[in-house]
């Protein structure tokens, strides 16, 4: 049977352990609050960007934040800010699967076979009322939109919706498999985004 530690040493060990715990907790809290500090208003956003890593990407995680409106006080566009969860890696099958769903779920009934538009807007042209980024298209499908786009978020799985996104982006010749933003400036895709003037 080992001899017990003397009383004072026990207290000291406890104090050290508590302090260590306290420091660790404080550091953790400080880190978190640093992560939530809003970007400074003088435009040097880099310094205030979150330091935590984005949550691990997976096909089953829908976008967490895909704003339609602009974000005041930052140079970020809705497309750039769209979601912590970028489009997951998808394979070639995703486009094929998306095309099958496009017919099966009656998307073709409104947007026409091939996406040229009829009751619903043309999905092959550069005009995107609610944004052309993968996350924006995902949100449009999952949430629906006020002028008659139904909400499919309760009916289709995230994986199915991502495959639809891949197919739809392929219709307007945007890269289906990555989250590349539209090329800056020159393309009308980039210019048309954010023009909320309604269907032309």
Partner 1 sequence: MSEHNVVTRPLQRLKASTPVRNLRDARRGVRIPRPLHKVFGVLVIGLGAGVCLTALAQAPSSAPPPPATQSQAPQAGAPSGAGSAPEPSSTTNGQGQIIPEPLAPGSPGTPTLGPSGPPLESLSFDVAPAAPSGEWHLAAHDFANSRYSDLDQINTGNVNRLRVAWTFADGTINGHEAAPLVVGDTMYLITPFPNNAYALDLSQPGIPIKWVYKPNPRPIAMGKACCDTVNRGGAWADGKLVYNLLDGHTVAVDTKTGQEVWRTLIGQPAQGLTLTMAPLIVGDKVFVGVSGGELGVRGFLEALSLKDGHELWRAYSTGSDKDVLIGPEFHPFYQFMQGHNLGETTWPADAWRHGGGTTWGWISYDPATNLIFYGTSNPGPRVPVQRPGINLWTSTVFARDADTGMARWAYQFTPHDQWDYDGVNENLLADLDWNGQRRHVLIHFDRNAFAYVLDRATGEVLEASPFAYQNWSLGIDLKTGMPRVNPEEEPVPEKKLPNVCPPDIGGKDWQPSAMSPRTGLVYAGIFNICMELTDHRVSYIPGTPYDGMQMKRHAGPGGNWGEFMAWDPVKGRKAWSIREKFMTMSGALATAGDVVFYGTADGWFRAVHARTGAVLWSTKLGSGVIGQPIAFLGPDHREYIAIYSGIGGAAMVSQTEPGFPARGGTLYVFSVDGASPNTVNGMSETKGGGARQGGAMGAEVP
Least distance (Å) from partner 1 to the CB of residue 28?
45
Interacting residue with partner 1 among 48, 71, 108, 181 (CB under 8 A): 108
| 190 touches partner 1 (CB under 8 A) | no
Least distance (Å) from partner 1 to the CB of residue 112?
8
Distance of CA 112 to the CA centre of its chain: 27
Round to whole Å and give the CA distance between 122 and 172.
Answer: 10
Closer to partner 1 at the Cβ: 6 or 196? 196
Rg of the chain's alpha carbons, rounded to an integer? 24
Closer to partner 1 at the Cβ: 144 or 194? 144
Residue matched to tokens 């949430």: 143
| 95 touches partner 1 (CB under 8 A) | no
Residues in contact with partner 1, shown as a per-residue x/- string from 17 to 56 under the rule CB under 8 A = ----------------------------------------
Least distance (Å) from partner 1 to the CB of residue 110?
6
Nearest to 180 by CA among 91, 82, 52, 99: 82
| 104 touches partner 1 (CB under 8 A) | yes
Round to whole Å and give the CA distance between 168 and 115.
Answer: 8
Interacting residue with partner 1 among 150, 153, 190, 194 (CB under 8 A): 150
| 100 touches partner 1 (CB under 8 A) | no
Contact 100/152 with Cβ under 8 angstroms?
no
Interacting residue with partner 1 among 45, 110, 156, 181 (CB under 8 A): 110
Return phi, psi of residue 178, to 5°: -130, 170
| 197 touches partner 1 (CB under 8 A) | no
CB atoms inside a 10 Å sphere around CB 138: 24
| 109 touches partner 1 (CB under 8 A) | yes
Nearest to 198 by CA among 124, 139, 148, 151: 148
Q: Residues 6 or more apart from 29 whose CB is under 8 A from it?
A: none
Give contact residues for partner 1 (rule: CB under 8 A): 103-106, 108-110, 112-113, 118-120, 146-150
């Amino acid at each position: 049977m080992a001899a017990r530690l003397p009383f004072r040493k026990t207290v000291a060990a406890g104090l050290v352990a508590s302090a260590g715990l306290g420091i660790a907790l404080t550091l953790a809290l400080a880190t978190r609050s640093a992560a939530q500090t809003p970007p400074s208003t003088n435009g040097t956003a880099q310094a205030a960007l979150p330091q935590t890593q984005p949550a691990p990407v997976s096909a089953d995680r829908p976008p967490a934040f895909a704003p339609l409106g602009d974000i005041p006080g930052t140079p970020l566009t809705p497309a750039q800010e769209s979601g912590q969860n970028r489009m997951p890696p998808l394979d070639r099958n995703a486009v094929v699967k998306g095309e099958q769903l496009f017919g099966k779920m009656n998307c073709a009934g409104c947007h026409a076979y091939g996406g040229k538009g009829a009751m619903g807007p043309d999905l092959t042209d550069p005009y995107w009322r609610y944004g052309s980024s993968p996350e924006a298209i995902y949100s449009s499908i999952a949430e629906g939109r006020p002028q008659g786009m139904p909400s499919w978020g309760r009916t289709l799985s995230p994986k199915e919706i991502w495959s639809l996104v891949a197919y739809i982006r392929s219709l307007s010749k945007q890269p289906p498999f990555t989250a590349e933003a539209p090329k800056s400036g020159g393309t009308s895709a980039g210019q048309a985004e954010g023009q909320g003037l309604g269907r032309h």
